[in-house]
């Protein structure tokens, strides 16, 4: 019989396996098989941003007040599995958009619920969450990578079968979660409203110029966070005529998975960079890493320029993690203690909610703008995104005032 850590590893592995099965490759399926336009693909990916604004907080309230967290978690995955199976049979934009919106509404809350269940069980069993959870959580990233590799190596990148795999894993996880130790609602005298839980009461922070500028840039940079995940596989697939036998075309998901591997490694370097350079400089590194991430996509190719694409994948770890973690730490440090939880909610709302939604929608329009007779000018597309990040990188240090104290201790919270 598995011990509790092993059981949590399985849960975290499956949580991100469900997501990794389709997140990177579904864009190629929609472009090449369903023949959707850029704005349609972008808007379907944008459903995750819409969902991130609402349901994580709503389902969090349900788990906090009325229903065991592991049951809410399981029900979400079972419903999501049914929706993904349905999505695999739908080929029109309107129908697929509605189904994927419903799927996002039930999937996005599971990311937070996964952490809630893990924390609750570890704490009740007497484990140190800060010490014992990260080695468990890293299996989530491994699950994401494993799903990408499975879909790629089995040739399902442009097949609805990727949704079958995700649905199967989701159903298994949904049923498995009901076997986990009970995570009952905790009775508390303090009643938090939905407005409070999604961070809206933290809007008082906008009165401070520094925080106002920070949250504006959180939204603007949040718009760039998922662009390469949305279109990376489609981009590589479009080299199928010029480099038909190249590794990057045949196994685009495997190549892109280097980004996720890089992400796990760069997380380990963040405490050093924060101590040495401070939050402002680390965030600036992230912004310029996005410039190089997009720019290298623009000049690279799966043939002679494969090394440029690999370099872009490696840079992704710095681009993605340095912004997310350093930004979260900045909010934790700067917000008043009574607004800290709400401020974190506001940070997530601006980046993964509003920012992600706008980013997916606008990026789809950019792709359509640079598409002529069905042929996408990927170099101009990626350079447009790189230029956007470059403008943010130039403006950010000029308007964001923050002085780093190298003697100040930095603690990375998990």
Domain of 22: which CATH number?
Answer: 1.20.1250.20
The last residue of a domain, from among 183, 212, 233: 183
Show the tokens assigned to 91: 């080929």
Residue with tokens 């069905």: 374
Domains held by the chain: number: 2
Residues 208 and 170 in one domain: no
- Residue 335's pLDDT band (boundaries 50, 70, 90)? confident
Residues 7 and 141 in one domain: yes
What average pLDDT does the segment 179-199 reach?
72
Residues 217 and 280 in one domain: yes
Which domain covers residue 119, as residue numbers? 1-183
Between these two residues, 226 and 364, which has the higher pLDDT value? Answer: 364
Between these two residues, 164 and 348, which has the higher pLDDT value? Answer: 164
Residue with tokens 């101009």: 380
Residues 173 and 281 in one domain: no
Residues 300 and 357 in one domain: yes
Give the per-residue pLDDT at 412.
42
Give the per-residue pLDDT at 192.
65
Tell me how far apart the alpha carbons of residues 96 and 30 are, in angstroms, rounded to a whole number. Answer: 10
Percentage of residues of the chain with pLDDT beyond 70: 92
Give the per-residue pLDDT at 8.
96
Give the per-residue pLDDT at 336.
74
Residues 152 and 300 in one domain: no
Residues 286 and 179 in one domain: no
Between these two residues, 218 and 407, which has the higher pLDDT value? Answer: 218
Residues 311 and 360 in one domain: yes
- Residue 191's pLDDT band (boundaries 50, 70, 90)? low
Instruction: Report DSSP letters for 133-187, one per residue.
Output: HHHHHHHHHHHHHHHHHHHHHTT-TTSTHHHHHHHHHHHHHHHHHTTSPP-PPPP
Over residues 162-178, the pLDDT tens digits come to: 999 999 999 999 999 99
Residues 7 and 139 in one domain: yes
H-helix segments, 300-414: 306-334, 340-348, 356-369, 378-399
| Confidence check: pLDDT of 385 > 80 | yes
The last residue of a domain, from among 161, 183, 205: 183
Tell me how far apart the alpha carbons of residues 339 and 202 are, in angstroms, rounded to a whole number. Answer: 6
In a domain, 189, yes or no: no
The pTM of this model reads 0.84
Residues 133 and 210 in one domain: no
Most confident of 316-330, 372-386, 395-409: 372-386
In a domain, 190, yes or no: no
Residues 211 and 109 in one domain: no
Give the per-residue pLDDT at 313.
96
What average pLDDT does the segment 298-307 reach?
95
Residues 216 and 74 in one domain: no
The last residue of a domain, from among 183, 217, 244: 183
């Amino acid at each position: 019989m598995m011990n509790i850590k092993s059981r949590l590893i399985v849960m975290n592995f499956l949580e991100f396996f469900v997501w990794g099965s389709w997140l990177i490759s579904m864009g190629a399926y929609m472009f090449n098989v369903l023949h959707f336009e850029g704005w349609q693909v972008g808007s379907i990916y944008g459903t995750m941003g819409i969902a991130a604004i609402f349901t994580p907080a709503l389902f969090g309230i349900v788990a906090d007040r009325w229903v065991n967290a592991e049951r809410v978690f399981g029900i979400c995955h079972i419903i999501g599995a049914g929706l993904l199976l349905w999505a695999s049979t739908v080929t029109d934009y309107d129908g697929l958009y509605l189904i994927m919106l419903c799927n996002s509404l039930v999937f996005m809350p599971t990311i937070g619920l996964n952490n809630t269940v893990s924390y609750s069980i570890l704490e009740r069993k007497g484990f140190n969450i800060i010490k014992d959870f990260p080695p468990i959580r890293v299996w989530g990233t491994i699950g994401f990578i494993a799903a990408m590799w499975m879909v790629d190596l089995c040739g399902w990148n442009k097949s609805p079968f990727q949704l079958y795999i995700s649905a199967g894993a989701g159903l298994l996880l949904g049923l498995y979660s009901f076997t986990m130790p009970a995570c009952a609602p905790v009775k508390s005298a303090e009643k938090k409203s939905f407005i409070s839980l999604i961070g809206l009461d933290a809007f008082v922070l906008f009165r401070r110029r520094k925080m106002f500028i920070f949250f504006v840039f959180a939204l603007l940079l949040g718009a760039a966070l998922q662009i390469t995940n949305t279109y990376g596989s489609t981009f590589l697939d479009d080299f199928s005529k010029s480099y038909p036998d190249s590794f990057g075309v045949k196994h685009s998901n495997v190549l892109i998975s280097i980004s996720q591997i890089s992400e796990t490694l760069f997380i380990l370097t963040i405490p050093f960079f924060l101590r040495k350079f401070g939050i402002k400089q680390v965030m600036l590194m992230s912004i310029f890493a996005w410039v190089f991430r997009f720019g290298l996509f623009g000049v690279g190719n799966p043939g002679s320029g494969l090394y440029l694409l690999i370099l872009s994948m490696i840079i992704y770890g710095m681009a993605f993690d340095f912004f997310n973690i350093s930004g979260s730490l900045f909010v934790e440090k700067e917000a008043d203690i009574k607004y800290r939880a709400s401020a974190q909610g506001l940070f997530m709302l601006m980046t993964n909610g509003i920012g992600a939604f706008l980013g997916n929608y606008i990026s789809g329009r950019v792709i359509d703008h640079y598409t002529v007779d069905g042929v996408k000018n990927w170099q101009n597309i990626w350079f447009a995104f790189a230029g956007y990040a470059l403008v943010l990188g130039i403006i950010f240090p000029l308007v964001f005032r923050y002085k780093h104290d190298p003697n100040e201790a930095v603690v990375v919270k998990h």
